[in-house]
Chain A
Amino acid sequence: MLNSKEKTYKLLHIEQWLIEKSGDSNETNGILVRPTDDVESLFVTLKQAPLVAFDFNNFDDGRSYSQVKLLKKRLGYQGEIRALNVHIDHLQFIFRSGIDSYELLPEYKQYNEDYAIDFSICYQAAENNSGLIEQHKFG
Chain B
Amino acid sequence: MYKYHDNDTKFIDQRHNQFKKQVTRYFDNELSDDQFRSIRLRNGLYQELHAYMLRVLIPYGSLNSKQLNQLGLIADKYDRGYGHFTTRQNIQFNWIDLSQINSIIADLAKVNMHAIQSSGKTVRNISADPLSGIRKDEVADARPYCELIRQWFTLHPEFSWLPGKFKIAINGSENDEIGIQFNDLGLQLVLNDKHELGFSVYAGGGLGAAPMLAPKIKSFVPEIDILSYIESVLRVYNLYGKRDNDKRLRIKFLVKRLGIEKFHDLVEKDWLSSRDDDEIKLNISKLDKIKKDFIAPIKPITSKNIEQRVDFNYTIWKSNNVSDNKVKGYSIVSVSLTQIGSAPGNIDSDQLRHLSALASKYSLNEVRTTKNQDIVFPYVRNEDLYELWQQLEMFDLSSPHNSTFAHIVSCPGADYCSLAKAVSIPVSKRIQNRFIENGLLFEIGELNLHISGCENSCAHHHVADIGLLGLNKGKEDYYQITLGGRTKNDTKLGKKLGRAIASVDVVDAVEKIVNVYVNNKQQGENFNQLFNRIGIKLFKEAVYA
Q: A residues near B, CB below 8 A? A: 59-63, 65-67, 69-70, 73-74, 87, 89-90, 92-93, 95-97, 115, 118-127, 129, 133-139
Looking at B15, B152, B157, the one whose CB has the most chain A CB atoms below 10 A away is B157
Does B27 have its Cβ within 8 Å of any Cβ on chain A? no
- For window 264-289 of B, CB contacts with A under 8 Å fall at 270, 273-274, 277-281, 283, 286, 289
| Bound Cα distance A70, B158 (Å) | 11
B residues near A139, Cβ cutoff 8 Å: 278, 283
Q: Report the contact-size class of chain B (Cβ under 8 Å from the partner).
A: 35 or more
Asked if B278 and A93 sit within 8 Å, CB to CB, the answer is no
Asked if A97 and B14 sit within 8 Å, CB to CB, the answer is no
Asked if B158 and A69 sit within 8 Å, CB to CB, the answer is yes
| Bound Cα distance A26, B14 (Å) | 46
Task: Point out the residue from A62, A118, A135, A138 that lies within 8 Å of B160, measured CB to CB.
Answer: A62
B445 to chain A, nearest CB (A): 46
Asked if B155 and A97 sit within 8 Å, CB to CB, the answer is no
Asked if A125 and B158 sit within 8 Å, CB to CB, the answer is no
Partner-contacting stretch, out of B33-41, B250-258, B483-491: B33-41
Q: Are A124 and B156 CB-contacts (below 8 A) given A66-B235, A135-B283? A: yes
Looking at B155, B235, B270, the one whose CB has the most chain A CB atoms below 10 A away is B155
A residues near B389, Cβ cutoff 8 Å: none
Does B290 have its Cβ within 8 Å of any Cβ on chain A? yes
Does B306 have its Cβ within 8 Å of any Cβ on chain A? no
A residues near B218, Cβ cutoff 8 Å: none
A residues near B151, Cβ cutoff 8 Å: 123-124, 133, 135-136
Partner-contacting stretch, out of B16-24, B94-102, B189-197: B16-24
Q: Are A120 and B18 CB-contacts (below 8 A) given A69-B235, A73-B273? A: no
| Bound Cα distance A83, B202 (Å) | 35
B residues near A135, Cβ cutoff 8 Å: 148, 151, 283, 286, 289-290
B residues near A73, Cβ cutoff 8 Å: 273-274, 277
Chain A proximity mask over B1-44: 1 for CB below 8 Å, otherwise 0: 00001010011001101100110000000000011001100000
Looking at A74, A89, A122, A133, the one whose CB has the most chain B CB atoms below 10 A away is A89
- For window 213-238 of B, CB contacts with A under 8 Å fall at 235, 238
B288 to chain A, nearest CB (A): 11
Asked if B14 and A119 sit within 8 Å, CB to CB, the answer is yes
Q: Are A137 and B283 CB-contacts (below 8 A) given A66-B158, A97-B158? A: yes
B residues near A129, Cβ cutoff 8 Å: 279
Asked if B283 and A66 sit within 8 Å, CB to CB, the answer is no
| Bound Cα distance A134, B286 (Å) | 9
A139 to chain B, nearest CB (A): 7
| Bound Cα distance A59, B239 (Å) | 16
Task: Point out the residue from A60, A62, A126, A138 that lies within 8 Å of B238, measured CB to CB.
Answer: A62
Asked if A97 and B243 sit within 8 Å, CB to CB, the answer is no
Does B161 have its Cβ within 8 Å of any Cβ on chain A? yes
Asked if B14 and A120 sit within 8 Å, CB to CB, the answer is yes
Of chain B, the residue at the smallest CB distance from A87 is B35
Does B391 have its Cβ within 8 Å of any Cβ on chain A? no
Asked if B15 and A59 sit within 8 Å, CB to CB, the answer is no
A residues near B274, Cβ cutoff 8 Å: 73
Asked if B7 and A121 sit within 8 Å, CB to CB, the answer is yes
Task: Point out the residue from A63, A89, A123 that lies within 8 Å of B152, measured CB to CB.
Answer: A123
Of chain A, the residue at the smallest CB distance from B147 is A135
B5 to chain A, nearest CB (A): 8
Closest 6 pairs (CB-CB, A-B): A62-B161, A125-B279, A96-B157, A118-B18, A123-B151, A135-B286
| Bound Cα distance A120, B290 (Å) | 22
Does B153 have its Cβ within 8 Å of any Cβ on chain A? yes
Q: B residues near A, CB below 8 A? A: 5, 7, 10-11, 14-15, 17-18, 21-22, 34-35, 38-39, 121, 148, 151-162, 235, 238-239, 243, 270, 273-274, 277-281, 283, 286, 289-290
Asked if B152 and A136 sit within 8 Å, CB to CB, the answer is yes
Asked if B238 and A133 sit within 8 Å, CB to CB, the answer is no
A residues near B39, Cβ cutoff 8 Å: 89
Asked if A138 and B239 sit within 8 Å, CB to CB, the answer is no
Asked if B11 and A121 sit within 8 Å, CB to CB, the answer is yes
| Bound Cα distance A26, B40 (Å) | 46
A residues near B157, Cβ cutoff 8 Å: 65, 92-93, 95-97, 124, 126-127
Asked if B279 and A89 sit within 8 Å, CB to CB, the answer is no
Given contacts A65-B157, A118-B15, A120-B10, 8 further A-B contacts (CB under 8 A): A59-B38, A65-B159, A92-B155, A93-B157, A119-B155, A122-B155, A134-B286, A135-B151
B153 to chain A, nearest CB (A): 7
| Bound Cα distance A74, B273 (Å) | 7
A residues near B154, Cβ cutoff 8 Å: 123-124
| Bound Cα distance A69, B38 (Å) | 24
B217 to chain A, nearest CB (A): 19
B303 to chain A, nearest CB (A): 38
| Bound Cα distance A36, B271 (Å) | 22
25 A–B contacts from the bound complex (CB under 8 Å):
A59-B34, A65-B238, A66-B239, A73-B277, A74-B270, A74-B273, A97-B158, A115-B21, A118-B14, A118-B15, A120-B14, A121-B11, A122-B155, A123-B11, A123-B151, A124-B153, A124-B157, A125-B280, A126-B158, A129-B279, A133-B7, A133-B151, A136-B151, A136-B283, A139-B283
Task: Point out the residue from B22, B155, B158, B283 that lies within 8 Å of A138, measured CB to CB.
Answer: B283
Q: Are A65 and B7 CB-contacts (below 8 A) given A124-B156, A135-B286, A136-B152? A: no
Q: Are A61 and B283 CB-contacts (below 8 A) given A124-B153, A133-B7? A: no
A residues near B34, Cβ cutoff 8 Å: 59
Of chain A, the residue at the smallest CB distance from B151 is A123
B507 to chain A, nearest CB (A): 43
| Bound Cα distance A60, B274 (Å) | 26
B residues near A136, Cβ cutoff 8 Å: 148, 151-152, 283, 286
B residues near A125, Cβ cutoff 8 Å: 279-280
Q: Are A121 and B14 CB-contacts (below 8 A) given A74-B273, A134-B286, A139-B283? A: yes
B residues near A97, Cβ cutoff 8 Å: 157-158
Q: Are A62 and B162 CB-contacts (below 8 A) given A69-B235, A125-B279? A: yes
| Bound Cα distance A92, B156 (Å) | 10
